[in-house]
Amino acid sequence: MNLYLLRHTAVGVPQGLCYGITDVPLRSTFAQDFDDVVAKLQGTAFDAVFSSPLSRCHSLAKHIAGSSLSVLTDERLVEMSFGDWEERLWSDVDSTPEAKLFFADFVHNPAPSGECFNQVIQRICSFVADLPFADDDANILVVTHGGPIRAFATLFNDLNPYDAFSVSVDYGEVKVFEA
C-alpha cells in the first residue's frame, strides 16, 4: 500500500500563532494552492481518501476526492494539541517554565493541557494498524498536518522522534510512504 501524505495548504492566521488543534481557515490563495497540490499528485488515482476532521484538511480532501470518492475523517489525524497555548503567539509562550520543559523533551513532555509528540506517534500507529487495505498496489491519500506527517516519518523511516522536526513538511507538500 502506498500512503500519500498531504499537508494542508497555507492557513490564514497571523505569523507566529500557535494553532495545533484549533480549526483555522485556509489562506485566501486556496484556489492557486489547490492547483499546485493537484500538480504534485500528478493524476494519481486513489483507492481511499482519509482526512483530519479540521477544516483546513477536510476542505482540501473534499476538493481532491471530488464526487468519485468519499472522504473518511479520522480524529487520529489531527495536529498535536498545544492545550493552553492554542491561539496564543509563540513569542508569548516560549519563555515560560512550561515551554522550557516542553522544548527540552517534546517527545515526552506535553504542552499544558495538551499532548507530547509521543502521543501523536501513538495515534498515527493506531491509524495505520486500522487501515483496511491489504492490496500492495492501493494508493491511499491522507490529508493531515505537519506533526502527524512527521509521526508517520518516525514510523516508516525508522526516524528517532527527537529528530522528527528536522523533517521539512511545507504547506501543500506530499510525502509518500510504503506501508
> pLDDT per residue over 147-178, tens digit each?
999 999 999 999 999 999 999 999 999 999 99
Can you tell me the mean pLDDT for 61-69? 93
Averaged pLDDT of the chain: 96
State the pTM of this model. 0.96
Band of pLDDT at residue 103, cut at 50, 70 and 90: very high
pLDDT at position 79, please?
A: 98
The candidate with the shortest Cα–Cα distance to 162, out of 105, 81, 123, is 105
Burial class (CB in 10 A: 0-12, 13-18, 19+), 79: buried
Cβ partners under 8 Å of residue 165, min gap 6: 106, 150
Q: Cβ contacts of residue 101 below 8 Å, gap of 6+?
A: 109
Position 67 confidence tier, pLDDT thresholds 50, 70, 90: confident
pLDDT for res 142: 98
pLDDT of residue 134: 72
Calculate mean pLDDT across residues 97-103: 96
| pLDDT at residue 131 is higher than 90 | yes
Q: Please give the pLDDT value at position 55.
A: 97
Sorted by where each starts, the structural domains of the chain and their CATH numbers stand as 2-178 (3.40.50.1240)
Q: How many residues comprise the chain?
A: 179
Distances (CA, A) of 61 to 8, 56, 81, 98: 9, 9, 21, 35
- Give the C-alpha separation, 44 to 139, whole Å: 8
Q: Work out the average pLDDT over 18-45.
A: 94
Cell numbers at residue 73, please?
A: 475523517
In this predicted structure, the answer to whether residue 24 has a pLDDT above a threshold of 80 is: yes
Cα–Cα distance measured from residue 133 to residue 139, given in angstroms and rounded to the nearest whole number: 9
pLDDT on residue 135:
73
Burial of 120-138, coded b for 16+ CB within 10 Å and e otherwise, reads bbebbeebbeeeeeeeeeb
